Structure 1
């Protein structure tokens, strides 16, 4: 069950862009995220890479038009490990301006006590709570109250059952992903006008 710390207070709406997990915030570059993780005492692994924005646009447009191949790559994930079975995975959205943090997942494995008092001390009163989840969002409507519950908003959720494995997730939300997809579609269509058109 969620700890009762501060549970009687009014739900609190927050600017999620100002929240962090081990110093990592939404919108950071890979270099900024790595610097934050190092400063927080984590051992940071090599970054994972995939096709860059230009390469992905060229790949998709190439299905509809004669487009030169682009093989440039961009950072899509960073992993890190801390003491006492603490692990962090940082995921990046790759856009026209490079890679930016769109999700941070912290996991604490094993029975190490209730995580919620620590979370309330760091993030203050949550916006919404469920039986094993506390979440912070810019508004109460649509703020997750269960693990794996999708949200259009940017959100931070803390999850734990009993005193076992615990997690903290910071995510940009579905709306931001949809905006980036629209920009991607427009970039592809600028090169291949037939992209996205229904076939006869």
Structure 2
């Protein structure tokens, strides 16, 4: 894919010199216009998918976990529909690209799903950490405050759990870490509900 992007940039560096690309290329007999179009489409698609992967890979995991889950979920909602559609049409897209002798690597979709599972796992881990590590000040607070704090953390855990399930459905599974954290989360939610 790196070679494809490099080649596409090389072609574009020459095309941008033309004042009217369509008129100029029309004068060349048998110019591979469809191949040029396919090259541009492949490069644009890969650039978009690569940007999603990079965003997920560089996602900052920081407290408070509620805000973190909201931000991640908003991003997930933004990209999910497009990725689901692409997942369904990738065989058709591959045929189009292959007909122009363009080799497109769709394994980036798998990478995006793996990264989404990783971000979801990081959210679950932070939710568990925030729930299990109350500060010294919270230990000194009266029982009423602790009770409402505990109920709030139960909602946070449930929110993280629901998001993890959506990601699991989207990705078509999860890794061992996500599986372990999901069980931990479920256990914590169950314990929390028995205490109320």
Rg larger for:
2
TM-score by length of structure 1 reads 0.27
Q: Please identify which structure carries the higher helix content.
A: 2
* TM-score, structure 2 as length reference: 0.28
